[in-house]
Amino acid sequence: MALAEAKQTATEARLSGLGLPEGGCLKAARQAALSRVQTMGLPSRRDEYWKYTRPDTLVQAEAPKAALFEADEAPMFDAFERLNIVFVDGVFDQEASDDLALEGLSIDRLEDICCKDIHWAKDLYGVLEARGQTPVERPLAALNTAFASDGVAIRVTGKVSKPINFTYVHSDENSDAILHHVIRVESGAEVTILENGPAASRFNKCMEIDVADGGKLHLVRAQGRDHKRRAATHLFARLGTESVFKSFTLTVNGVLTRNEAVIELTGDDAVAHIAGACVGDGDFHHDDTVFITHDAVNCESRQVFKKVLRNGATGVFQGKILVKEGAQKTDGYQISQSLLLDDDSQFLAKPELEIYADDVACSHGSTSGAIDEEGLFYLRSRGVPLAEATDLMTLAFLAEAVEEIEDPEIAADIVSRLEGWLARRR
Amino acid sequence: MAALDQTQVKEGVDQETVDAVREVGGAYKYGWETDIEMEYAPKGVNPDIVRLISEKNEEPEWMTEWRLQAFERWEQMDEPNWAMVSYPEIDFQDQYYYARPKSMEVKPKSLDEVDPKLLATYEKLGIPLKEQMILAGVEGAGETPEEGRKVAVDAVFDSVSVGTTFQKELKEAGVIFCSISEAIREHPELVKKYLGSVVPVSDNFYATLNSAVFSDGSFVYVPPGVRCPMELSTYFRINAENTGQFERTLIIADKGSYVSYLEGCTAPQRDTAQLHAAVVEIIIEEDAEVKYSTVQNWYPGDENGKGGIYNFVTKRADCRGDRSKVMWTQVETGSAVTWKYPSCILRGEESQGEFYSIAIANNMQQADTGTKMVHLGKNTKSRIVSKGISAGKAQNTYRGLVSMHPKAKNSRNYTQCDSLLIGDKCGAHTVPYIEVKNNSSRVEHEATTSKVDDDQLFYCRQRGMDEEEAVALVVNGFCKDVLQALPMEFAMEAQQLVAISLEGSVG
């Protein structure tokens, strides 16, 4: 079907400002992705999948200007022993980054995939993204595959001693970054990946993760606190037999964030946990869109999303569990909750189930409401001031999502930062 | 039903439930046809057909204009394709939009003059059109124990209303209950005021088509302060082949009134699919209450998906007045394809909307059904209980919207939808939309039976029941709750359905 005229025009306008990178061996993948974008067209507000989030500023040719944020604290995860990889406005910064060598894994830049003849990465690049285009189209991800200007390929072959940390620095008010990472966790290998920072005024990031049988990957990310930044991220993961994938995302601030996670459980007994906590204040729009496909027996998936919203902030959750025919003994769980701290904020949710197997247990719940008056009263009757009591209740509300983080030290760091931010915002 | 007989049922699913589903979805009991001479309008739809239908109903000019405008809008609209149903493309020009029994050419003045064949048809369906007859099996219930319960019936056969019972008695109470064509002639001021005020002419593709070509349907007006002395019901029967049925129902409950309305529907068994696109509008003023119950039993098609009714229905209640209340109860067992979302606009303060639904899909049936609760007024409440059961190769989707507008302070919604799959070739889907735009309202959506109320469980266990027994009691009690919302007239259907438990549900 031909695209609607407005969509066609918007898509062409965006594409005209971009040049296909000299792809080397990725050229074919990039070309294919470009034609996917051209066929689908970039998202518009009339698309059902963008019902609750306006994609205009993510699609328009020029990235909207975003003021830089003066952080008054040490960057996240700085205190941890880690291998740090730094991108400034979407460009790899070798000076600031650690040496990319570590036992149990190999890290290469996207541009080196071809000259070093890294077959696995070449075979993964754009593949999961393309698979993730059905049944729902994700044109911004295809745009990313076609035009990603930088990124890394990580291959994990053993148990890695310390986390790999991506630090995304925002230094230019007009920056528009497109990054694409491919990660392969080999059989029995295990790694923790951390991400933090706003990256750019407008950030389009795509991560393709392939976890082989028995592999484990933990992902914890904190999206930078710049008020005016915009981000559209995609996470595509394919999980093999008995593999484990757990991800947690913390979002505080940002005028627009759309995080899509597309997870496919293709091997029996695989486990996927996707969690998110967000605290939105004022001009803040946050969208978690999750699509989990169960295509094997006895797999488990959990989605836990908590949103605290005030001063006109908007929280969106679109989650879906698809259980394919034959994916028996599936255990699917999905919860999305919002805490509206005042009357101006809103929560929009679409928690979906699509089930084609009879011996499964899937549940989804979604709630929205104000802070529990009884809880507040209890705390105040014990002498806790209102503001502090509200913060305590807010932290308790977010706890279920934070508990999804496997590493207690990382979880503790996130909790302490949340405490600080809540306290300062009174 | 062969498919279901061979189905391996997973552990935990109650055998009684499987039997009940089999019974409900068993050989279609209403698949016979009435051999009666019919009169058709030419096939297809165009302004001339719209005029013809209007003319046949002896409608005033304004009504004809209203229809023509709707038709004009419809021509510019596209068929919706967002529902999780698939069916071959419908050729809207390849069917009849108007069919009436020849014997109805001259409107019978009373039921005594109605063609005996038609009366026999309804008799056979278990719908007595003779006023002295009282429904069997429900004696002694309700407010009029000495006489049994009365139900006034408006019987619609293909495109026309055959007759309406108890009109005199209802008139004495001030209630108007007649066919919509009669209402357009006799009560134009009411029809003009309310028709299209809840479901606007161009609301959606099927509603717009209905606005252009609806042939008959029921009209109810309950004046202020009146509690309708009996239950009202409309029975829709499709008989003619290749004919679409487009009926229109308009119910107005004025201040402080109450009415309970039942709707039943069946059709003959045929190889070709037939279209049914109805619109139901309900207006509820201050302190009024309307109970609308449906047992939808259109022919569902055969095991291979041949034939059956495509049921594309728009139903909406507008709780305009403060403290008004509407309750939708539906049992959906028929139709090849169901596309139906009875909705509540909770405009008045403290108004209430309730939706109880049991949808059973078997063989190749596809049901995409649910509700919309639009909270506009302060302190409004809504409750959704939906149970979907799929067997054979059927697909059952719950699709619903709960919307809390910024001004709907202190409102409350509770939604529970459960699905049960019997066999591994069918599907159960849930697509809820939740939009909360103020913080004093609470919205809860839940879709799992394992989450039974802890207090109730504790209570049962304290009295010596084991966990499983306690859960069964609580869950079944809950299911019965829904069925008890059905009026007595549906007692038979309800009894069958009570056997259905949602144990072993998938979410």
Q: Provide the shortest C-alpha distance from residue B304 to chain A (in Å).
A: 19
Residue type, A386: L
B84 contacts on A by Cβ (under 8 Å): 354
Tokens of A220: 């914890």
Q: Are B447 and A332 an interchain contact pair (Cβ–Cβ within 8 Å)? A: no
Q: Are A350 and B433 an interchain contact pair (Cβ–Cβ within 8 Å)? A: yes
Q: What is the mean pLDDT of chain B?
A: 83
Q: Are A369 and B430 an interchain contact pair (Cβ–Cβ within 8 Å)? A: no
Q: Are A358 and B406 an interchain contact pair (Cβ–Cβ within 8 Å)? A: no
Chain A: residue nearest B429 by CA? A354
Distance CA A98, CA A90 (A): 17
Q: Are B424 and A343 an interchain contact pair (Cβ–Cβ within 8 Å)? A: no
Name the pLDDT band for B143 (thresholds 50, 70, 90).
Answer: very low
A353 touches chain B (CB under 8 A): yes
Name the pLDDT band for B111 (thresholds 50, 70, 90).
Answer: confident
Across-strand partners of A333?
A302, A363
Name the pLDDT band for B382 (thresholds 50, 70, 90).
Answer: very high
Contacts of A233 (CB under 8 A, 6+ apart): A203, A204, A205, A206, A207, A257, A258, A259, A260
Contacts of A257 (CB under 8 A, 6+ apart): A223, A230, A231, A232, A233, A251, A278, A285, A286, A287
Nearest CB neighbour to B424, from listed A338, A341, A357: A357
Helix (H) or strand (E) holding B51: helix B47-56
Name the pLDDT band for B495 (thresholds 50, 70, 90).
Answer: low
Q: Are A345 and B451 an interchain contact pair (Cβ–Cβ within 8 Å)? A: no
Across-strand partners of A84?
A165
Tokens of A378: 């209890």
Helix (H) or strand (E) holding B320: none
How long is chain B? 507
Q: Are B507 and A363 an interchain contact pair (Cβ–Cβ within 8 Å)? A: yes
Distance CA A104, CA A89 (A): 29
Q: Are B445 and A355 an interchain contact pair (Cβ–Cβ within 8 Å)? A: no
- Which region among A337-351, B133-147, B463-477 has the lowest average model confidence (pLDDT)? B133-147
Complex ipTM value: 0.90
A361 contacts on B by Cβ (under 8 Å): 448, 450, 506-507
Residue A277 has φ and ψ, to the nearest 5°, of -130, 135
Residue type, A225: R
Residue range B186-196: average pLDDT?
95
Chain A: residue nearest B506 by CA? A361
Distance, first Cα to last Cα, chain A: 52
List, for residues B402-439, the tens digit of each pLDDT value. 999 999 999 999 898 888 777 788 899 999 999 999 99
A342, exposed or middle or buried, with CB in 10 Å at 0-12, 13-18, 19+? middle
Q: Check residue A207 and give its pLDDT.
A: 98
In this predicted structure, the answer to whether residue B291 has a pLDDT above a threshold of 50 is yes
DSSP secondary structure code for residue B216 in this structure: B
Residue range B121-125: average pLDDT?
79
Distance CA A294, CA A237 (A): 12
Residue type, B339: W
- Which region among B22-26, B34-38, B114-118, B391-395 has the lowest average model confidence (pLDDT)? B22-26
In this predicted structure, the answer to whether residue B349 has a pLDDT above a threshold of 80 is yes
Q: Provide the shortest C-alpha distance from residue A68 to chain B (in Å).
A: 31
Q: Are B429 and A349 an interchain contact pair (Cβ–Cβ within 8 Å)? A: no
Q: Are B406 and A343 an interchain contact pair (Cβ–Cβ within 8 Å)? A: yes
Q: Check residue B144 and give its pLDDT.
A: 39
Q: Check residue B3 and give its pLDDT.
A: 43
| Whether B378 contacts B350, CB under 8 Å | yes
Q: Choose from B395, B436, B440, B446 for mutation: most chain A CBs within 10 A.
A: B436
Q: Check residue B141 and give its pLDDT.
A: 35
Name the pLDDT band for B494 (thresholds 50, 70, 90).
Answer: low
Q: Provide the shortest C-alpha distance from residue A178 to chain B (in Å).
A: 32
Q: Provide the shortest C-alpha distance from residue A332 to chain B (in Å).
A: 9
Q: Check residue B315 and give its pLDDT.
A: 96
Q: Check residue B131 and give its pLDDT.
A: 55
In this predicted structure, the answer to whether residue B4 has a pLDDT above a threshold of 60 is no
Distance CA B189, CA B183 (A): 9
Residue type, B162: V
Chain B: residue nearest A327 by CA? B424
Q: Scanning the structure block, which residue is given the tokens 């004696």?
A: B139
Nearest CB neighbour to A346, from listed B82, B429, B437: B437
pLDDT < 50 positions in chain A: none
Q: Choose from B439, B440, B442 for mutation: most chain A CBs within 10 A.
A: B439
Q: Are A365 and B423 an interchain contact pair (Cβ–Cβ within 8 Å)? A: no
Q: Check residue A298 and give its pLDDT.
A: 96
List, for residues A234-252, the tens digit of each pLDDT value. 999 999 999 999 999 999 9
Q: Choose from B441, B503, B506 for mutation: most chain A CBs within 10 A.
A: B506
Tokens of A61: 């040719």
Chain B: residue nearest A364 by CA? B447
- Which region among A346-360, B291-305, B453-467 has the lowest average model confidence (pLDDT)? B453-467
In this predicted structure, the answer to whether residue B43 has a pLDDT above a threshold of 80 is yes
B288 touches chain A (CB under 8 A): no
In this predicted structure, the answer to whether residue B140 has a pLDDT above a threshold of 50 is no
Residue range B170-195: average pLDDT?
94
A408, exposed or middle or buried, with CB in 10 Å at 0-12, 13-18, 19+? exposed
Q: Check residue A243 and give its pLDDT.
A: 98
Name the pLDDT band for B493 (thresholds 50, 70, 90).
Answer: low
Q: Provide the shortest C-alpha distance from residue A48 to chain B (in Å).
A: 9
Q: Are A358 and B426 an interchain contact pair (Cβ–Cβ within 8 Å)? A: yes
Q: Report the range out of A256-270, B255-269, B417-431, B465-479 with the highest average pLDDT.
A: A256-270
| Whether A391 contacts A416, CB under 8 Å | no
How long is chain A? 426
Helix (H) or strand (E) holding B209: helix B205-213
Name the pLDDT band for B126 (thresholds 50, 70, 90).
Answer: confident
B430 contacts on A by Cβ (under 8 Å): 351-354, 364
CB atoms inside a 10 Å sphere around CB B168: 9
A364 contacts on B by Cβ (under 8 Å): 430, 445, 447-448, 507
| Whether B418 contacts B399, CB under 8 Å | no
Chain A: residue nearest B81 by CA? A48
Name the pLDDT band for B254 (thresholds 50, 70, 90).
Answer: very high
Name the pLDDT band for B463 (thresholds 50, 70, 90).
Answer: confident
Q: Provide the shortest C-alpha distance from residue B22 to chain A (in Å).
A: 17
Distance CA B219, CA B223 (A): 13
A372 touches chain B (CB under 8 A): no
Q: Residues B137-143: contacts with CB within 8 Å, 24+ apart?
A: B137/B491, B137/B492, B138/B488, B138/B489, B138/B491, B141/B488, B142/B488
Contacts of A351 (CB under 8 A, 6+ apart): A317, A318, A319, A320, A334, A336, A364, A365, A366, B430, B432, B434, B445
Distance CA B501, CA B483 (A): 12
Ordered alpha helix ranges (H), B318-440: none
B105 touches chain A (CB under 8 A): no
A369 touches chain B (CB under 8 A): yes
